[in-house]
Amino acid sequence: MRAGDKIYKLFYRTVLTGGGNGAIRCWFPGGYRYFDQSDYGVINPDRSWRPVSYMNQNFAARMRAVRPLPTPAVRIPIDLDHVRAERGVYLSVRKKFWMNDAGKLLRLKLGNG
């Protein structure tokens, strides 16, 4: 499995674990890229599928399936009256977010409740 394929797998597992119903990843067309000396894409230049394409198909089916929403172990409130844009949200919760044990499902919640 190529390194890029492992990244896709980890990304999709994270979406599923968090109860997500979909995900978008980039790098659709394959082919050599001169600017970063890589060849990563989910399809070949001739439009045939690469192994990661089948993984995308498998995870898409799993994400569309009806399943219970996981219960978060930790809820972190966000007060939108005192933050601006995504960076402000991150800065307001980063200490609480990174202090939690790895593997716990976190949920960001609007408001103080």
Using only the alpha carbons of the chain, give its radius of gyration: 18
pLDDT digits (tens, 9 = 90+) for 39-92: 777 888 888 888 888 888 899 899 889 988 888 888 888 888 878 788 888 888
Q: Identify the bridge partners of residue 74 per DSSP, sorted by sequence position.
A: 106
| pTM of the predicted protein model | 0.61
Distance CA 10, CA 12 (A): 6
Mean pLDDT confidence for 100-107: 76
pLDDT over threshold 70, residue 27: no
Mean pLDDT confidence for 23-50: 76
**Cβ within 8 Å of residue 89, ≥6 positions away:** 78, 80, 83, 108
Q: Are 12 and 23 in contact (CB under 8 A)?
A: yes
